[in-house]
Amino acid sequence: MKVLGIAGWSGCGKTTLIVALIPRLRALGLTVSTLKHAHHDVDLDTPGKDTFRHREAGAREVILATGRRWALLRELRGEPEPALPALLARLQPVDLVLVEGWKTGAYPKLEVWRPGVGDRPSRFPTDPTIIAVASELPLDPARQGRPDLPVLPLNDVDGIADFVARFARDSEAAF
């Protein structure tokens, strides 16, 4: 599986870009999954419901299955948060996994940058894992020592999707 991170400052539009890319990448024939890291506590269950009660009673893992989807909830109960490779290993094989979060990981990333949501990109130019920047404003990567780094117009989602699809099909990098 190819892995591509979508990096950038909080509020710059990473999730918006991922949501726009997924149907375009599917239309280009790719299978896509996503992984999202949150820095705050999130509960996907509803207090009082059966699966919530199962977890509260001490179950380590609970699977909720319906005719349309299933979900696995795992309580860490003091265990360390799993690393990205461990989570990727739990996914079914696909052509591409888009990752939001884990921005310091050693895997390729596309950085999203909007002026006003940071005076400069958060990772570029110092992070060598950045393979492209999607920006509202033109950037000059050559001035930063990265003359071959693509800068993609953030409002050209079709162009970004084409770039990501080429990465997924042509790149040797798998995580």
Mean pLDDT of the chain, nearest integer: 90
SS3 assignment for the chain? CEEEEEECCCCCCHHHHHHHHHHHHHHCCCCEEEEECCCCCCCCCCCCCHHHHHHHCCCCEEEEECCCCEEEEECCCCCCCCCHHHHHHHCCCCCEEEEECCCCCCCCEEEEECCCCCCCCCCCCCCCCEEEEEECCCCCHHHHCCCCCCEEECCCHHHHHHHHHHHHHHCCCCC
pLDDT at 40: 63
pLDDT at 109: 96
pLDDT at 16: 96
pLDDT at 150: 95
pLDDT at 100: 95
Position 23 in a domain: yes
Position 151 in a domain: yes
Residue 77 has pLDDT above 70, yes or no: yes
pLDDT at 145: 85
Query: Residue 16's domain is classified under what CATH number?
Result: 3.40.50.300
Position 73 in a domain: no
pLDDT at 7: 95
4-61 pLDDT, tens digit per residue, is 999 999 999 999 999 999 999 999 999 999 999 876 666 667 888 898 999 888 888 8
- Whether the full predicted model's pTM is greater than 0.85, yes or no, is yes
Position 165 in a domain: yes
Domain total of the chain: 1
Residues of the domain holding 103: 2-43+81-170
Position 72 in a domain: no
Position 104 in a domain: yes
